[in-house]
Amino acid sequence: MFDSLSSRLEGVFKKLKGHGKLTEKNVEEGLREVRMALLEADVHYRVAKKFIADVKARALGQEVMKSLTPGQQVVKIVNEELTRLMGESLEDLNLSGTRPVSVMLVGLQGSGKTTTSGKLAVYLKKKGKKPYLVPADVYRPAAIDQLKKLGGQIGVPVFPSETEMDPVEICDKARTAAQKAGCDVLLLDTAGRLHLDAELMAELVRIRDAVMPSDILLVADAMTGQDAVNISESFDKALDLGGVILSKMDGDARGGAALSIRAITGKPIKFIGVGEKLTQLEAFHPDRIASSILGMGDVLTLIEKAQSVMDEEKAVELEKKLRKSQFTLEDFKDQMVQIRKMGSLGDLIGMIPGMKTNKQFKNLDVDETELVRIEAIINSMTPHERSHHQVINGSRRKRIARGSGTQVQDVNRLLKNYTQVMKMIKKLNKGGIRGFGRGMLP
């Protein structure tokens, strides 16, 4: 996802960062390249144009922040505007109304509607809801069978629709059946066509008016780029969508649809499909996506992961230390151990802010042997050295290297990385989590 856009933007920002002071000309040149990068990512031209105008107005009006260089300020503004473009914050399913509520899924044939119905059923089950699947596509008997099979796999009841029934009648009867089965959310998998079609729209409007769903979601194929945007616009005009689910994001390297849909239709993207499996549905967090596009890593996901691994007491203790900027080398070692518990280091590295792009972090080797080495080095330090790293002079470094069976360069590297982390923590204390990300901008 967003790979090419990500690397194009990285190049643009590297150039901007090279200037100590930014002139209007530097900013304009940089933004021209950002615009090209957006267009290449298949972002709608109207969206790209407005985006650049907004960033430029803010960059030149410059809300100056002392902790950032001018280049970093531009990155910060682009990050915030990208987030805004995609809708600011997460929007969940709308399930308000008298139980059972209905969620209507619409979309073209092949967009992934039936698969997504199954994915949503899994998602709702995880949240403690009782979903009920309703095949309402009477034109394709295979669609009914497909949903029945999916329901069987995930243990979710499916209404026994028949091709002779009218879709409105199906939805009506399904509601009574769901109520009887003790279910609280009906997922209506409606008919699709290969192309937009007035007859289909009329049928969908008829279903909507009869069922009064709490949410209407369009499933659109991200790989179709601008087509997905146009389709969203048409379905929204006819049905007044509650939101969009972009399927097949795993196959879309450009990301144009994800970046344009909100701006063009005004409707949020609520979920993305990232694979064929029924668990491969993710909530759409605009801020996280923007950060990952800019290579700042998925800070919040990382923090959430970290929280689920760290035991409560340790977390509270660590937070206190972070607040007082008393994070010692001993704590650094504990963190390494925690990081190992979190699973694949490869996955984690991309989520650590600055890791993808920050040169200083490129030499923080992350294979298991490096972690073992770091632990050995810290173990060779005296308790005083662990809590007062400033005292570790040349001769102490030699002793520590000898004691841990490593080289002085290894000790130097560790101390350098540690001081980097300390700087990050100081920024975190100044500006909260947002400041954490900002401090790590390339």
**Which residues sit at the interface with ligand GDP, rule CB under 6 A?**
107, 109-115, 192, 247-248, 250-251, 273-276, 280
Q: Are 404 and 380 in contact (CB under 8 A)?
A: yes
What sign does the CA torsion over 229, 235, 241, 245 have? negative
Q: Which of 190, 265 has the CB closer to ligand GDP?
A: 190
Query: Closest separation between CB of residue 123 and ligand GDP, Å?
Result: 13
| Residue nearer to ligand GDP on the CB measure, 66 or 126 | 126
> What is the nearest approach in angstroms of ligand GDP to the Cβ of residue 161?
14
For residue 311, CA distances in Å to 179, 316, 325, 341 come to 41, 9, 21, 12
411: helix, strand or coil: helix
Is 23 known to sit in a ligand binding site?
no
**Sheet harboring 269-273: ordered strands across?**
131-136, 185-190, 101-106, 215-221, 243-247, 269-273, 281-283
The minimum distance between CB 270 and ligand GDP, in angstroms, equals 14
CB of 165 to ligand GDP, least distance (A): 19
Compute the distance between CA of residue 329 and CA of residue 414 in angstroms, rounded to an integer: 10
223 annotated to bind ligand: no
Residue 292 assigned ligand-binding role? no
Cβ-based nearer residue to ligand GDP, 73 or 116:
116
Residue 111 counted as an annotated binding residue: yes
Tell me: is residue 97 an annotated ligand-binding position: no
* Residue 298, annotated as binding a ligand: no
Whether residue 141 contacts residue 166, with contact meaning beta carbons closer than 8 Å, is answered with: no
Tokens of 258: 């994800």
Residues 31, 34, 39, 45: is their CA dihedral positive or negative?
A: negative
**β-strand 269-273 against 243-247: which pairing, if any?**
parallel
Q: Is 265 annotated as a binding residue?
A: no
Closer CB to ligand GDP, residue 24 or residue 276? 276
Distance between CA 98 and CA 96 in Å, rounded?
7
Minimal distance, residue 11 CB to ligand GDP, in Å: 29
As measured in angstroms, the least distance from the Cβ of 191 to ligand GDP is 9
Q: What are the distances in angstroms from CA 313 to CA 92, 307, 309, 316?
A: 31, 11, 12, 5
Question: Nearer to ligand GDP by C-beta: 117 or 380?
Answer: 117
The answer to whether 226 touches 256, Cβ cutoff 8 Å, is yes
Q: Which residues pair with 105 in a beta bridge?
A: 189, 217
CB of residue 139 to ligand GDP, shortest distance in Å: 11
Q: Which residue has the tokens 């922040």?
A: 65
Residue 121: CB minimum distance to ligand GDP, A: 13
Per-residue exposure over 322-360, b if at least 16 CB sit within 10 Å of its own CB, e if not: beeeebbbebbbbbeebbeebeeeeebbebbbbbbbbee
Could you tell me the smallest distance in angstroms from the CB atom of residue 22 to ligand GDP? Answer: 40
Q: Is 338 annotated as a binding residue?
A: no
* CA neighbor of 162 nearest in space, from 137, 189, 132: 137
Nearer CB in complex with ligand GDP: 171/348:
171
What is the C-alpha to C-alpha distance for residues 116 and 189, in angstroms, rounded to an integer? 9
Residue 224 or 247 with smaller CB distance to ligand GDP: 247
Consult the annotation and say whether 198 binds a ligand. no
**Annotated binding-site residue? 357:** no
Residue 284: CB minimum distance to ligand GDP, A: 13
| 54 annotated ligand binder | no
Shorter beta-carbon distance to ligand GDP: residue 245 or 348:
245
Q: Cβ contacts of residue 420 below 8 Å, gap of 6+?
A: 360, 361
Distance of CA 301 to the CA centre of its chain: 8
Is 250 annotated to bind a ligand? Reply is: yes
The pair of structure tokens assigned to 65 is 């922040």
Nearer to ligand GDP, 222 or 339 (CB): 222
Is 112 known to sit in a ligand binding site?
yes
- Across the strands, what pairs with 282? 272
User: Given the complex with ligand GDP, which of 110 and 141 has the nearer CB atom?
Assistant: 110
Q: Which residue is nearest to ligand GDP (CB)?
A: 273
* Binding-site positions: 107-114, 189-193, 247-250
Binding-site residue numbers for GTP are 107-114, 189-193, 247-250
